[in-house]
Structure formats: C-alpha cells, structure tokens
Structure 1
C-alpha cells in the first residue's frame, strides 16, 4: 500500500508523533509512506509547522527511517499552501530543505471585500465569487512549477454539486497535463462530512471526493495520480487507500505514483496488494 499524504502533531491540528504514525502505518499494511505535514506559511500559523521546527521534523523522519529500516519505506515531504504572491516564499523554503515530495494545496482563498474563505467552510463554497477566486488560484498553483502534485483539488465536492465542479475544472485539464504534475486521489473524502444536494444539511457517510466523473478525463489527458489517506491521526493511517483503488480501477485507474527525491515513480496497481479492511465506503451508500 502507498500512502503519500499524512500528518503528525507537527501540523498542530493533527495528533501523533512521527514514530506513532509510522508504527500505525506498518500495522495498516502501508509499505511506502510519505509524511507531509503542513509547511510554514504566513497564513494560519497555528495550524502548521513553524520554520523553527523544520530541523526537528526532518530529524524525526530520519530517526524513523533508521528504526524501521526494512519494514517500511519512509519518504519526507511537505504540504504547501498556495496563494497568489507567495511563490517566492515557497521557492525559498524548497531550496533550503531536500524533499522527496511537495504537495501544493489551496486551503485559503482571499475574497475581495469579504473574510477569507477556508475550504472546510462548506456553506461558502458554492458562490460564484468564491469559485472564480478558487479556480484562479488553482490555475496559479498548477502553473507555478513548484509542486509535484495538486492536493485534494476536488475537496469542494463536500459543498458543491459535481457538475458545477467539473464545469470549472475541465478548462484546467490541458494545463495540468502540460505541467507534468500529478493529481491527488485523496481518501479523506470517504471520511469527511458533506452537504446533501437538496437540503444542504451536513452529513457523514456520503462519497464527496475524489470525483469519479473527472477520473476518466484525467486518464485521457495522461495525468499521473498520487494517493493518500490525508491522515491527521495515527488510527487513520492508510485509511481508504485500498478501498479507493478497488472502486476506481473499473473506471480506468491503472497506475499510482509516488515521489522520491522529487522524481516520480509509477506503480501498476496490479502489483499492489494492500491489506486494508476498512468498511468506510459501503457500495450501497456511495454517491456518484
């Protein structure tokens, strides 16, 4: 099993040490784990690594590599926030630390004349003004050339109809393919709440993301895929990874990629034998 998106207590809103995450990942059947805590950033500094913690963060990962050598491959990464104008800040950070993997994600969207929108504020995700800003930011993220994979770009499906999301994302397909970036299949959409289409009530247990309808279009454009649990607690290490691959394979998913020293490694999913027995996604309850 490959899990290329995971967090520890260094992200502040997550729990578990690096060692605890690694041990839980081994128990879950993960063989290649990339640790990707939230990188330092000027926005929301209470929910991420501080610059002063980076040396200790990477030292903890190196210690885990030594401790669990031969039992699991541990790669070091960061999940970066993207906002227009922050490219120089991120470029400097990337130059200072050797990474295996850099995820670029849009978590915060500045709105003219309005409070900044956070992508977990579900009722605010469907306005035209927000969508204009979000997809402009996403275009900038893909174009800047700083990242290996775009993280949970379809998290908006927690509060947005899929046809609206597709209408907005499809113009970016050619750009994404040209960039060489991977698209992340993020399994946390199987665990997180979402708004029901008609009542707009927040509920658990519905498939929100990744987008099943977008997958064939990404495959047609030869966009590679990474996959990750986006775990914020050791007990969710590897959660949903095997299940997601089982559901998406009939839709055309053939390969999963991970990154080592910022270079993509492609793996045929037929060679993967994950040991995930989670029952989070029930076929009868899954939403298209």
Structure 2
C-alpha cells in the first residue's frame, strides 16, 4: 500500500464516527468501515488520503459527490448520509452488504444467467435515467462500481460525474471509456449507455469486449495528479479504439433481444446507440414473463 498508513481501528476521524477497519485505498481516497454513534449503525467513510490532504480540489470533489448523494434518492443509487468539511473533508455513505459485480465475476467466477443480465441492465438504466434527469452523467459505470445483493443493484461513485457538454480526454476508467470519453470533447447521455453496455458484456461473458483492454480498476481522474489524461493518447485510454466491439454472440449464446441490446450500446458513434429509455425497453423485453 503506497503512502502513509491508513487510520487505525478505533480512531475517530471526526467526532461521532469510529473507524472499524480500512477497506480500500485508491489513487486519492481512503475508504473505511466505520461506526456512526448518532445512527447506531455501521457506515462507510470516504476521506482524501493523508498524503494528498493539501490538494484542495480533491477535497472539493469528494464533498461535491457527498452532497449529490445526500440530495439524491433512488433505489439503485448508494445513499449519502453526511458530508463534513472540517477538520478534514469527509463523506459518510450507507453500508452495502452485497458484492461488487467485479468480485462476483472475477473472484467468484459466477456465470450470470441471461435473465439476470437483462434485469441488471434495467436497474442500471433506471439509476442512469435518474442521474440524467438531475443534469449529471455518471461516466464511470463498470463492474467495480455496482454492488448487487439478492438481485438488487446499486450504483456507486459519482466522483467523476459531470453535466453533459465539453470534457477533457480520459474522464473515467481505462478500458471502460466510450470512444468520445477517450478522445475528449462533448459528452452526452450516450457515454453512459456505453458504460451500461460494457458492464453487461463483462458480466455476461466474464471478460470485457476488448481482450487487450486491461483496466486499472480505478478512474483515470483519480490519479494523484488529478489529470484525466494521464499523459497518454486516446488509444492508451481506450485500447479498443478504433476497433469495433466484437458481437457478444461471439463469446456467449444469449437470447437475441438481449444480445442485440448489448451490442447496440457499444456502437462507436454515440448517435447510433439507443437512448436510455430505448435500452430499458429493449432489456425489459428480454426478461422472462412474470408468472
């Protein structure tokens, strides 16, 4: 683990919260399992790494995400409880008891049933539709940012979310970027449709559509420099460019409606991808009828 040691169990990062365990370290954050005295329950705390605490823009980014998650309320988005400005920027989130899709797919090697892939897709569409209605693109949809418990998915991490419009090259995670994210320039809802498609492809097949697109598992914009580009060109940030995504049927046999829906998400031209509403309807038609 790079940088200074994380907070030890028993530490109070701010009054009313006690660290139970360190969960993860990213390029700029430490994530903790914690106890909330006020709520008498466990929670998750996100705080800027101690070696980067003087980078004010990182604290501002964290607090911005926390404010959004406190304001938003949707069954397929993680809930935010509180933001704390001082003595250090800190965000408190609900504890989720499921597993990330990345863990289920790559650690447990679970083969996801076609109906569950379609159901997951409708839930991701629902969360994304809600975010778009509030003027935000998620821009970092990937298996590591989705937690599932008993078939119920919740989307995490709004740290790189932004309104539609111009964006620097490379906002998001290498290997999961839509081509327009890798290039930089105007971004629309179609970038999140790509994110849904590449996530469903990986969940269905156990690997992403581009064999050489190895993701770091971390957002490019989560680097210590804070640069979305990381000094690389579009081909490095988006290794599949300019190759089209291989049809999902070349990796796994799926119901035609489901396969067609996933493939449509991964069209290189953003204008050729379905809208979120069209994708939700198509995925819904791939679900088995209710008894």
TM-score normalised by length of structure 2: 0.32
Structure with greater proportional helix content: 1
Higher relative contact order (CA 8 A, sep 6+): 1
Larger Rg: 2
Q: Normalising to structure 1: TM-score of the pair?
A: 0.32
